[in-house]
Structures are given as structure tokens and as C-alpha cells.
Amino acid sequence: MTDFKIMHIFIGVFNVSYFFTMLSMKLFLTLVLFISLFFSQSCSHKQKTTGVKNDKTQIVDTVEENCTTAFFNSGEKENNSQNVFVEVDGRKSTLAAFIDTVTAGDDRLKEFVSTGLFDLDGDGKKELVMNGYTGGAHCCDIFHFFENIEPNTYRHVGSTFAGDVCPVKGNTFNFYFFQSLGYFFTCYACGYSTDEYTPIGDKAFFSFKYDKGKLVIIPGNAKQKEYLIANLKQLSKQPYKKIEDDGMDDGLRKEYALTIATYYFSFGKDMGDTKMLFDKYYTFPDATKVWNELASNLQYIDDNNDF
């Protein structure tokens, strides 16, 4: 991982499509939507689904915060970050200096940094794990993993970016997609739900582990694949609505994106296979546009993470 990539990640230069170009408009529309919900006794379909999805997102955010806190509380604390050294791209510095670099010296961002020592893969050597936050709107969280190479010295071997990463048990981490796909053709808080369709919510994740200096995806199982296919079948039965002039919809396309992204990363990261699955269940007139946008997002997540 290059110095530029590390700086790029931590200072929040995050360019998933629609994030910057639509952000101010989305925040404004979200505020308008909140005000209309507050003063109105009746709800449109979009307003109803926004509330449901927002609850799901809050659940993921809360779970991620709780499990991350519990994880670092369980680890061994380094005695002094000035006496711990890290090697990144062949360059050695103190851990304190590394934290200062990747947070651009912002004391507010340093408050979000957690570090700990863990023997993740059971080889008798403890890895250094670091978690931080870029300070952007709804994004972005990051984990850094370092392997021990000599006493008090650790080499950087991998990172995760723009995912709600939840350490769940032992050496298993869940990567949720809400940070990366929250603005997929809709506002971050908006979502889709009907009497017939329940949002994917906290099932939109894949798992990975640390193994001998690498972050390795844990393949999904048959039960997960069955659920994802069933979810796509239900989505394909939902009524089609055009994308509005502001570039947003009622949250349906984000449900597709969350489901497809979970499939892509859980079952081999095969873009061709994933495209066939998308084509089978997304048969609406704007399929080409939506797929191109989704494929770009999947590639971005892949390129900016080390699993």
C-alpha cells in the first residue's frame, strides 16, 4: 500500500460515484424530508421506507461501534506509541508519528483511533491492529493490520476502507457495505421496504480473517447464497420507478446493490458471474446504467481494500 493511498484513505478523499457530486443535494433533500415527516400526519411510500431503512442502518452502526469497542478492549495495549515502531512501504517510524501522518495532525481524528495487540492467527506472535475514521459524512472507517517482525516493530500488511468492519469472534471480521453504497441512487438514510419485501439490512456483509500476513475473505456458505438469491427474486417483483431528476430513487436500487455486493465478495469476486446474476433479476429499462454504476462501485471497494 503506497503512502498516497494511506493518506488518501485517512483524510477522506472518498470518491464512490454520487458521493461528492450529489452530497450537498442529498443532505438538503434529507433535511427537507425530515421536516416534512415532522409536520405531516401522512407518509408517502418513500417516507415510510426511509424510516425502516434508517433503523436498519442505525442497527449496523450500533453493532459496529459496540463490537469494535469490545474488540479493542480485549486486546493488549501497547505501552507507549513512541516506543512502538511501524514499517510502511519500507519506511520506519514510530506508531505515534504514523497516527499523526494518517490523521493529517487533526486531534479530532486522533480521538477516533484505537490500537491493540492481538494474536489473530494463533502463531504465537501478536499483530498490531489499528482502527480510525476519516471524519467524512457517514464515512469512512478504516482498519490497519501490522505483522510483528521484531520486538516492538510491526510491518503494515493490509487495510480495509469505507466499510463498517465488525470484529465478531476470534479472527473473524464482518465487512458491511452501508458506508460504500449508502448513496447508491438514493440518499444515505433512504431505503426500500414493503409488506412483501424486508430490507437486507444487517445481512449485507461478508467475512474475512487475518492469515499469515494477509487479509483473506471467508467464502460464503450455501445458506447465505440461498438467502441472497431469494432476496433478488423478491426485488425483481417490485414495481419499477424511474430515477428522479435529482438522481435518486425510492431506495430499490440500493437494495439490489447491497445484495449483489454481498454476493460478489462472498462468492469469489467473479464479475462475470455477478453480472449474469444481476441481469437475471434486474430486468428494468435502466439495467445498463445501474450495472455500470454498481460494477464501478464493486471495483472501487476491491481496489481500496486489501482482502
Give the predicted TM-score (pTM) of the model: 0.79
- Per-residue confidence (pLDDT) for residue 65, from 0 to 100: 64
From CA 164, how far away is CA 189, in angstroms rounded?
16
Looking at every residue in the chain, the average pLDDT score rounds to 82
The pLDDT tens digits of the residues spanning 74-88 come to 999 876 778 999 999
- Per-residue confidence (pLDDT) for residue 97, from 0 to 100: 95
- Per-residue confidence (pLDDT) for residue 169, from 0 to 100: 82
Angle between helices 3-10 and 95-102 (to 10 degrees): 60
Give the start-to-end residue ranges of the domains of the chain. Answer: 3-303
The pLDDT tens digits of the residues spanning 218-248 come to 999 999 999 999 999 999 999 999 999 999 9
Overall average pLDDT of the 290-300 stretch: 98
∠ CA 49-54-58, nearest 5°, is 155
Strand 153-161, strand 85-88: pairing? parallel
- Residue in the structure block whose three cell numbers are 450495472: 291
Overall average pLDDT of the 46-65 stretch: 41
- Residue in the structure block whose three cell numbers are 438522481: 247
The pLDDT tens digits of the residues spanning 137-146 come to 778 899 999 9
Cβ atoms within 10 Å, residue 218: 16
C-alpha cell at 35: 421536516
- Per-residue confidence (pLDDT) for residue 263, from 0 to 100: 98
- Per-residue confidence (pLDDT) for residue 134, from 0 to 100: 86
C-alpha cell at 39: 409536520
From CA 30, how far away is CA 118, in angstroms rounded?
41
